[in-house]
Structure 1
Amino acid sequence: MDAYYNCLRCMNKRVRILTVDGKQYEGTITDVDRNNVYLKTEQNGRVQTSAFYPYGYGNQILTLSLFTLLAIALI
């Protein structure tokens, strides 16, 4: 649950997220639920990620499971 509350605290702020498998993601947290954090990412106008995009958000919202988060930092 710490990841959930940390993500809530960082809502609408730019963050860097490190996952347990060593991947890093940067973006703005747009939403958090009990299972996932939703990160709006932009890299030179293109998004390059292997995550999936729910709810028809298109290619700018990255869904990460809270269970895979290792660290989150404001940037």
Structure 2
Amino acid sequence: MDMYQACRQHMNRRVRIQTRCGECYEGVIVNVDRDNVYLRTSGDARISGWFGPGFGFGPGYGFGLLTLSLFTLLAIFLI
């Protein structure tokens, strides 16, 4: 199964995503397109990446929408 299908199968579920670089992200998959998966993160998660319109880029704390390229994904785990 390719990553697009795996992400579609786990829509609206809490997951941990591991990238090929070894980074891990936790949140709920809220959308998937052919290039990206969109992960809603919790308020206590330390995250880095794109946080949606107006949120900027870089490490930080807070609720946001994290966009990850499907090309960089290695694994998806239900939590």
TM-score of the two chains, using structure 2 as the length reference: 0.81
Q: How many residues align?
A: 72
Higher share of residues assigned strand: 2
SS in 1 for 2:46: coil
Unaligned runs of 5+ in 2: 56-62
Matches of 1:32 and 1:15, distance apart in 2: 14
- The two structures, once aligned, show a CA RMSD in angstroms of 1.8
- 5+ long unaligned stretches in structure 1: none
One-letter identity of the residue aligned with 2:47 = T
Give the deviation of 1:50 after TM superposition: 2.3
Please identify, of 56-65 and 8-17, the stretch whose mean Cα deviation from structure 2 is larger: 56-65
Normalization by structure 1: what TM-score? 0.85
